[in-house]
Amino acid sequence: MDPATRIDELRRQIRHYEERYYVHQDSEISDAEFDALMQELQSLERDHPDLVTSDSPTQRVGGRSAESFASVRHAEPMLSLDNAYNEDELKAFDERLRRGLDGFDGPVRYVAELKIDGLSVALQYRDGHLTRAATRGDGITGEDVTANVRTIKDVPHTLRGGPSGAIEIRGEIYLPRREFERTNKEREDAGEPRFANPRNAASGAIRQLDPEQVKRRGLRAFLYQMISTDGTPETHRELLESLKKWGLPVEPHWKALTGIDEVAAYCREWSEQRAAATRVLAFDTDGVVIKLDEIALRRRLGTTSKFPRWAVAFKFPPEQAETTLQRIDINVGRTGAVTPFAVLEAVFIAGTTVSMATLHNANEVARKDIRDGDRVVVEKAGDIIPQVVRVVNPDRTDRAGRWQMPRRCPRCESELVRGEDEAVWRCNNTSCPAKLQRGLEHFAARHAMNIEGLGESLIARLIADRLIASYADVYRLTRERLEQVERMGRKSAANLIAQIERSKTREFWRLIYGLGIRHVGERGAQALAGAFGTMDALLGASKEQLQAVPDIGPVVAAAVHDYFAQPANQHLIAELEALGLRMDAPVTAAAGPGPLSGKTFVLTGTLSTMSREEASEAIQSRGGKVTGSVSKKTDHVVVGADPGSKLTKAEALGISVLDETAFRKLVGL
């Protein structure tokens, strides 16, 4: 695969996983797997700087805000943290930090804190009074959740003392483990799916539209950062002590340390006692955050577009436990993918009880030689997804033989098939009840057609009652039919019919995404809708035309083309159109020649009057090009606060350097 194609594919994958994580609080892969994709993309972009684009995942923090709350622009970007997975990587961080401080002599003073596995939040106080609370969002823009945060008991509405004027305090909202178990018990009793972990539960709670519902969840908070123009303590340890004095909750296990060896020892201690700590601490922790203590030195180091250079997150290795694998079952997904999973004797791992674990695919089961009745080691990948790591007992003389993937779908009895060079078996029966169930869940979800009230359990009942056998059947439902469904009253039926009607006018891209085409995420659906404008144009597009759309690589283009080439899918589109669904969207006009045509720009540092995305849009809409690295081909470098090494390189090459004022004048803002 050529570098450009691989870069395109990596960007598509990373954007999809970022969207799932930041917007929908759903981690589909482990942190380590995500980091591996990002590192590969970074490496390819370093080797091919001409292929770097301003919208690459390497150039931003990730995700976008959900749609339930008003947007809030952060005073300063809320960045992510770079990760270290072992002591060698900790020492490499220390060395980078020293180089950035011009060979700082003597031991560096750090502060280490337990990493809270929750939801980042920014609290604004004016003259000691809480005036606004916002989620992290994409790091530039978040969601205004002030009313909900006011219900969190340990977030004070008024500070005890503290500086006058406007300040911003940042930290983490989390759900205590006891509240997490209570919430999941209530959801089980109501027939709703359990939350996978406390972080997802906290994210879901803070986005409740009714503050009273948020209050019932029992959210808590820890604060650890202050954004202010003046009056900031000189060291991080002083800041933590001040926050506590002002009545703000601070996680108590932080420690001031001198030198990276003390930091490594602290991380080692917590890593070794993590299992015991899980039972003692009220919250989940997946690592230690290490920060440079002196605030003035932090300003000298600055940030990249994604991370502060003065901090790093040391991630604990996944917690493991041994248990018995009772049997191997298989699951059928919305695309027909048939995946094996392990049914386990319940075991406690990383704060939750685990009774099922992924086995990924048939090849992995064969490679690890996993069989019914085995003693196995289980871990939570990224502390989220339980997976079987290995078999403990190789001697199986009295147990089952090797596991084989069934040759037929467990739900519809259709023959399973596996494509060339694919690890996943699939059911290709378009009428498979399991595929229909998962597909309808996706179609009706908030980020697709957003049909509130059409959830997993109701879809299962509608399929069982033979009221729906396709997406189109959703729009043929009537109030009278729904009233006959178990546990559906007149009011609930009327509300659902109203939601279904409302969904007909959703944006065109939502329909494309809701169809569940393989490899097409929200961003891809938006790109397709903007490029083609109508369903007819999209249906008639060739692979070459599809691949010409930004964010659509060859794999996605082939999947879209193959989907619309199938007569059954063409028939479905025709049915949906006849039932009144929106089938068009404004076409994005192609960019023509502009005043910046032929000019290449690089952005570095934090701009005060606009985000990087807005600056990039200003350049591109005027015909210019934005890249991620400085070279002899660069015409201008736009410099904001805390610029990085790009400024140094630009000066060395004699490239034009524009401050924010000069840049705004150049583009006519």
**Angle between helical axes of 87-100 and 260-272 (0-180°, round to 10):** 150
Q: What is the mean pLDDT of residues 127-139?
A: 89
Report the pLDDT value the prediction gives residue 592, as an integer from 0 to 100.
Answer: 46
Write phi, then psi, for 257 (nearest 5 degrees): -135, 150
Q: Write down the mean pLDDT value for the chain.
A: 85
Q: What is the mean pLDDT of residues 129-157?
A: 89
Give the C-alpha separation, 384 to 169, whole Å.
28
DSSP codes, 303-328: B-SSSBTTEEEEEPPPPEEEEEEEEE
Give the H/E segment covering residue 628. none
Give me the percent of the chain exceeding a pLDDT of 90: 43
Report the pLDDT value the prediction gives residue 619, as an integer from 0 to 100.
Answer: 84
DSSP structure class, residue 21: I
**Smallest Cα–Cα separation from 372: which of 345, 392, 401, 395?**
401
Among the options 115, 291, 306, 599, which is catalytic?
115
Report the pLDDT value the prediction gives residue 626, as an integer from 0 to 100.
Answer: 77
Confidence band of 23 (pLDDT split at 50, 70, 90): very low
115 part of the active site: yes
Q: What is the pLDDT of residues 467-491, one digit of tens each?
A: 999 999 999 999 999 998 987 888 8
Report the pLDDT value the prediction gives residue 427, as an integer from 0 to 100.
Answer: 92
Whether residue 399 is predicted with pLDDT greater than 80 in this model: the reply is: no
Report the pLDDT value the prediction gives residue 20, as an integer from 0 to 100.
Answer: 59
* Torsion angle, alpha carbons of 450, 454, 459, 465, to 10: -130
Whether residue 305 is predicted with pLDDT greater than 90 in this model: the reply is: no
Task: Look at the block and give the residue holding tokens 């018995």.
Answer: 324
**Smallest Cα–Cα separation from 172: which of 147, 155, 151, 196?**
155
Is-contact 60 613, C-beta < 8 A? yes
Report the pLDDT value the prediction gives residue 622, as an integer from 0 to 100.
Answer: 77
Question: Against a cut of 0.75, is the pTM above it?
Answer: no
Is-contact 432 369, C-beta < 8 A? no
Structure tokens at 600: 């290449």
What is the separation, in whole angstroms, between the first and last Cα of the chain? 42
Report the pLDDT value the prediction gives residue 586, as an integer from 0 to 100.
Answer: 56
Report the pLDDT value the prediction gives residue 263, as an integer from 0 to 100.
Answer: 97
Q: Which residue has the higher pLDDT, 200 or 112?
A: 112
Q: What is the pLDDT of residues 70-119, one digit of tens each?
A: 888 888 889 989 999 899 999 999 999 999 998 777 789 999 999 998 99
Domains of the chain (ranges; CATH) run 3-46 (1.10.287.610), 71-315 (3.30.470.30), 320-422 (2.40.50.140), 433-578 (1.10.150.20), 600-667 (3.40.50.10190)
DSSP codes, 391-424: ES----TTS-------SB-TTT-PBEE--TT---
DSSP structure class, residue 49: G
CA 93, 137, 235: angle at the middle one, nearest 5?
40
Is-contact 435 470, C-beta < 8 A? no
